[in-house]
Amino acid sequence: TLTVCLFVFLQYGNSGGPLVNLDGEVIGINTLKVTAGISFAIPSDKIRQFLAESHDRQAKGKTPQKKKYIGVRMMSLTSSLAKELKERQADFPDVTSGAYVIEVISRTPAEAAGLKESDVIISINGERITSASDVSAAIKRDDTLRMVVRRGNEDVILTVIPEEVDP
């Protein structure tokens, strides 16, 4: 899942609301406030794509394929976001790319494997991870994920086995 990092102030409870530009056009849906001044939204083009695919499946009477799930909310870590997080969290890892784990959902494969909030996924099955999209692709492709995550200033190796869920 792709998200947009916003350096704006969202109020508690704004998740699910529209993100609009100065012309009043909806450009995304607010999804998460990480800390004061750092929030995330799903871009409107991704929402349109999801709705179109869902409509096509229903119109054709197709049952959606099962999806794999590990149970995290994550975002792509950029150098500017890493700098911002480092200023706010003294123990933030010394990395500038990867997939930043925002939340680990309880009773999921990610939690069972030991993944934690604020971990940065830097490698899966020997391949460097530079974005949340890389992690999503690995989840779809592989049955077992051997992850290297940066936690503080240590690299931790975890094995996550995605589970299949109905969409």
Tens-place pLDDT, residues 40-67: 778 888 888 888 888 887 778 766 667 8
Q: Which residue has the tokens 């086995």?
A: 161
> In the CATH scheme, what is the code of domain 67-165?
2.30.42.10
pLDDT beyond 70 at 8? no
Is the Cα torsion angle 84, 85, 86, 90 positive or negative in sign? positive
Which class for 111: exposed (0-12), middle (13-18), buried (19 or more C-beta within 10 A)? middle
Could you tell me the pTM of the whole model?
A: 0.67
Write a three-state SS string for the chain: CCCEEECCCCCCCCCCCEEECCCCCEEEEEEEEEECCEEEEEEHHHHHHHHHHHHHHHHHCCCCCCEEECCEEEEEECHHHHHHHHHHCCCCCCCCCEEEEEEECCCCHHHHHCCCCCCEEEEECCEECCCHHHHHHHHHHCCCEEEEEEECCEEEEEEECCEEECC
d(CA 163, CA 121) in angstroms, rounded, equals: 19
pLDDT on residue 1:
45
Residues of the chain with pLDDT > 90, as a percent, come to 44
Q: What is the pLDDT of residues 73-109, one digit of tens each?
A: 999 998 888 888 888 888 888 898 999 999 999 999 9
Q: Is the pLDDT of residue 6 over 60?
A: no
Of the listed ranges 14-18, 69-73, 155-159, the one predicted with least confidence: 14-18
Q: Which residue ranges make up each domain of the chain?
A: 4-60, 67-165
- Tokens describing residue 91: 């123990």
More confident residue, 37 or 100: 100
User: How far apart (Å, rounded) are the C-alpha atoms in residues 91 and 51?
Assistant: 39
**Per-residue pLDDT tens for 134-149?**
999 999 999 999 999 9
- Taking Cα atoms as reference points, which of 122, 51, 38 lies closest to residue 88? 38
Looking at domain 4-60, its CATH architecture is Beta Barrel (2.40)
Tokens of 88: 């706010």
Length of the chain: 167
